[in-house]
Amino acid sequence: MKKNKIVSLLGVSLLVLSSCKSSSSKVGIFIYNGNDTFITELTGCMKTDLKSYKTQIFDASESQVTQNEQILNCLNGNYSYFLINTVDRLASSAIIEKCSSKNIPIIFFNREPLSEDITGKDDIYYVGTSAEVAGQYQAEMAADLFGNPTSLNSQYDKNGDGIIQLTIIKGEKGHQDAELRTKYATNKLRDLGYNIDILSIQSADWMRSEGKTVMKNMYETYGDKIELVLSNNDDMALGAIDYLVENKVFLENVTNEKQPFPIFGVDATDVGKKAIKEGYLSGTVLNDAQLQSTAIANLLDYETTGKDFADFPFKFTDGNRIYVDEKKVRIADLA
């Protein structure tokens, strides 16, 4: 895929003062929900990394209609770049069409458009992480606790039946990360040889408050049958912990292994890591906000100055996608 293709944006040639262009470029940052903890951390990193640009953040508050209006209103607003975290990734195709008509490059982030919408497209990028890997890492961390699949650790296999009884707190229904994190976590456990019994899968829309409600429903239904909880993100896991602590199911001032069952999240947000240190969350998967922000800033820098992408510091997948590596995060990793 051709990478050095922005010769002129809004009539300003890259050959003229290209090194100064970033200071005059307006960048619109469109996010699906400003109340999402991870998105808040990511946009905070972006504001710092993009300080040489004129940035403005638009919060869609989970409404694709609102986001569409925000983007349309900015199409004639002398913006040089759009950074878009879509509410609904199925809207990406129409967004690309509108922006292409105005020659405005797009970097999608956190919510990946359908492959056919961005494959082979000039001036269209995606920056994020692999949902598949996040699910697999959750399963591997759980496996470290449950031990040999043919002889489970009795501390975690509470009923001694050789089967892991688990519940799953999913993100937004239909969201690719929620679906893939769930699928690959459960598939990995089976691939590792574990027999699993999924007691319940419920959606909490990525939100801490909803995670609390979902955990209430799960615990009131299954109680001590629950041996493992996998949450698609930290916020929902923390909501579950809120319920468990308030109802004295989870203990205070103890280490993770002393809790009745382990809970794993994804994102490694500051509050998620704090919960690990406090003995509530058994582990999480780093969804590296800073590194994703750095990748986005590098893309803008290379595009703005016409640098040779042969020297680009991040690996491209399928020509225009950047997947930032994830890491397992447990108490030993925070020492």
Domain locations along the chain: 8-129+288-325, 131-286
Tell me, what's the pLDDT at 7?
Answer: 32
Main-chain phi, psi angles of 14, to 5 degrees = -65, -20
Average pLDDT over residues 265-282: 97
Q: Which CATH superfamily is domain 8-129+288-325 in?
A: Response regulator (3.40.50.2300)
Q: Which two tokens stand for residue 83?
A: 């950074």
Q: What is the mean pLDDT of the chain?
A: 92
**What pLDDT is recorded for position 291?**
97
228, 197 contact by CB (below 8 A):
no
Residue range 131-286 in CATH 3.40.50.2300:
yes
Q: How confident is the model at residue 304 (pLDDT cuts 50, 70, 90)?
A: confident
Around 320, how many Cα atoms within 13 Å sit in the side-chain half-sphere?
26
8-129+288-325 and 131-286 agree in CATH topology: yes
Task: For CA atoms 170, 150, 262, 164, give the dihedral sign.
Answer: positive
State residue 4's pLDDT score: 41
pLDDT of residue 173: 87
Say whether pLDDT at 13 is over 70: no
260-292: b (≥16 Cβ within 10 Å) or e: ebbbbbbbbbeebbebbebbbbbbbbbbbbebb
Query: pLDDT band for position 174 (50/70/90)?
Result: confident
3-state secondary structure of 117: helix
Per-residue pLDDT reduced to its tens digit, 14-56: 333 344 455 568 999 999 999 999 999 999 999 999 999 999 9
C-alpha 171/C-alpha 252 separation (Å) is 27
